[in-house]
Chains A and B, each alone.
Chain A
Amino acid sequence: MMAAVTGIGVVAPNGVGTETYWQAVLAGRSGIGPLTRFDARGYPVRIAGEVTGFDAAEHVPSRLRVQTDRWTHLAFTAAEMALSDAGADTDELPEYEMAVLTSSSSGGTEFGQYEIERLWSKGSRYVTAYQSIAWFYAATTGQLSIRHGMRGPCGVVCTEQAGGLDAAGRTCRLLESDGARFVLTGGTDASLCPYGVTAQAATGLISPSEEPERGYQPFASTASGYVPGEGGAILVVEQADAARERGAKHVYGLITGYAATFDPRPGTPDPEGGSRLRRAAQLALADAGLECGQVDVVFADASGDPERDRIEATTLREFFGPHGVPVTAPKTMTGRLYGGGAALDVATALLSIRDGVIPPTINVPALAPGCDLDLVRGEPREGPIRNALILARGYGGFNAALVVSGTE
């Protein structure tokens, strides 16, 4: 069974719409700026990748808007783009063979925060009934399932910033053995509210920088953490045969390999003496039936935390040899999008394959000692790309690796 990606929808800080985003990424245009969604003075997070110019009223009917969080609004929009891109008429497909499997890192945080404020300031009778369905992790999946009549095996994956890869990987299982032929996957997140950023800042991984160019410099000698962002991507993934059968107009690529691992308890050594991230990459390549030399680009997790950067750089060096593979982190233009981040990386890798170009990493002037990677910096790099390896890590010990491949 081959899992074919036939539709992509992107809502990102540097572009709403797949091609708008892709052009921005190739031009090295960042969507990171001052955090404006609330008065952030007094908070340890002052810059962010906000999806600006997105008015939910233009994209989401009011009946749905009032009962859902911004994170779901972004997903509604990306899903519509992806379905339209796939040229799929969901009315024509068997409803129990269509599924939705998204990634979510914090649910409807912003919606929840403002209802909790009403609870404490006015009383329980002023909390909207929609709180019950807006803020839990599965809300986006459920709303997409209802809206598009996709009643097959649905679910949500909550593995923090690794979620986009885990959702895509599990999507293959839905297609292989759970009776699905057509799946909406990927993920979005929108947790740039006081409650959201306070919870994120507690990890200590967010940069204290107030300068958009300096807040997220993975693998750099000046790395100081990351910048949070919102948005993500939704993908249509189908059984390749079924896609051909319904006359899908294009296939961006195939999901050919996936694996996930979990870190050992902090302070205890890795049972196999390497990193669990490395193990995930190894298993994903084995799943794809590929050798290291067949990987044309790595979309790195690119934490921005010096220690975590070093672990990833070591993993890549051990795995591919010194400067053995081009590495990139276009997320330096969006910030880290939590449940949406790895999903956006999958979309970006597929566009890379389509156009034969590796998008750049920005804002990395000099690599840190121990991070001497072939990092594609400043300008995009052209050349055929057959296989891309995507890595992602989620806070708390999640590691995931996904391989996407061209159809030729």
Chain B
Amino acid sequence: MSTFTLDDLAKLMRECGGEDQEGLCGDTLDVPFADLGYDSLALLEITTRIENRYSVSIPEDMATGMKTPREAIDYVNTLVHAA
């Protein structure tokens, strides 16, 4: 199973309406999603897409509990590697 990378997350975020925004990069890894313009509904949308694409299951409280891109990437990787 491949690792879930920053690029993978950035691509999903763009699909969820971020195409007008500057790309996610190392500098924004620790910026809260809320500050990047992604509300709880947007996070739900992103996590559903991660679930579908990587065949993992993310509980809803975790979906809204991941505060930053780094937290999301780390959490998804624990799931991906455990699978």
A interface list, Cβ under 8 A from B: 61-67, 125-126, 128-130, 132-133
Contacts and interface: CB of A to CB of B under 8 A. Distances in A.
Q: Looking at A61, A63, A132, which has the most chain B CB atoms within 10 Å of its CB?
A: A63
B48 interface: yes
A129 B17 contact: no
A45 B27 CA distance: 53
Contact of A132 (B17, B41, B42, B51): B41
23 contacts: A62-B17, A62-B18, A62-B20, A62-B21, A63-B18, A63-B20, A63-B37, A63-B42, A65-B17, A67-B17, A67-B41, A67-B42, A125-B48, A125-B51, A125-B52, A126-B52, A128-B45, A128-B48, A129-B41, A129-B42, A129-B44, A130-B41, A130-B45
Contacts of B51: 125
Contacts of B52: 125-126
Interface in B25-70: 37, 41-42, 44-45, 48, 51-52
Interface residues on B, range: 10 to 19
Given A62-B17, A63-B21, A67-B42, 19 more contacts: A62-B19, A62-B21, A63-B17, A63-B20, A64-B17, A65-B17, A66-B16, A66-B17, A67-B17, A67-B41, A128-B45, A129-B41, A129-B42, A129-B44, A129-B45, A129-B48, A130-B45, A132-B41, A133-B41
Contacts of A67: 17, 41-42
A292 B19 CA distance: 56
Nearest to B19: A62
A234 to B, nearest CB: 23
A64 B20 CA distance: 11
A64 B21 CA distance: 12
Contacts of A130: 41, 45
Interface of B: 16-21, 37, 41-42, 44-45, 48, 51-52
Nearest to B51: A125
Contacts of A129: 41-42, 44-45, 48
Contacts of A65: 17
Nearest to A133: B41
Nearest to A61: B20
B54 to A, nearest CB: 12
A129 B44 CA distance: 7
A128 B47 CA distance: 11
Contacts of B44: 129
A66 B38 CA distance: 12
A145 to B, nearest CB: 15
The 8 A-B residue pairs with the shortest CB-CB distance, nearest first, are: A66-B17, A63-B17, A129-B44, A129-B45, A62-B20, A62-B19, A62-B17, A129-B41
A66 B17 CA distance: 6
A125 B49 CA distance: 9
A80 to B, nearest CB: 16
Nearest to A128: B45
A204 B34 CA distance: 48
Nearest to A126: B52
Contacts of A126: 52
B70 to A, nearest CB: 21
Contacts of A64: 17
A227 to B, nearest CB: 34
B26 to A, nearest CB: 22
Contacts of A62: 17-21
A78 B31 CA distance: 34
Contacts of B19: 62
Contacts of B21: 62-63
A326 to B, nearest CB: 48
A133 B42 CA distance: 12
A132 B42 CA distance: 12
Contacts of B42: 63, 67, 129
A20 to B, nearest CB: 26
A64 B17 CA distance: 7
A60 to B, nearest CB: 10
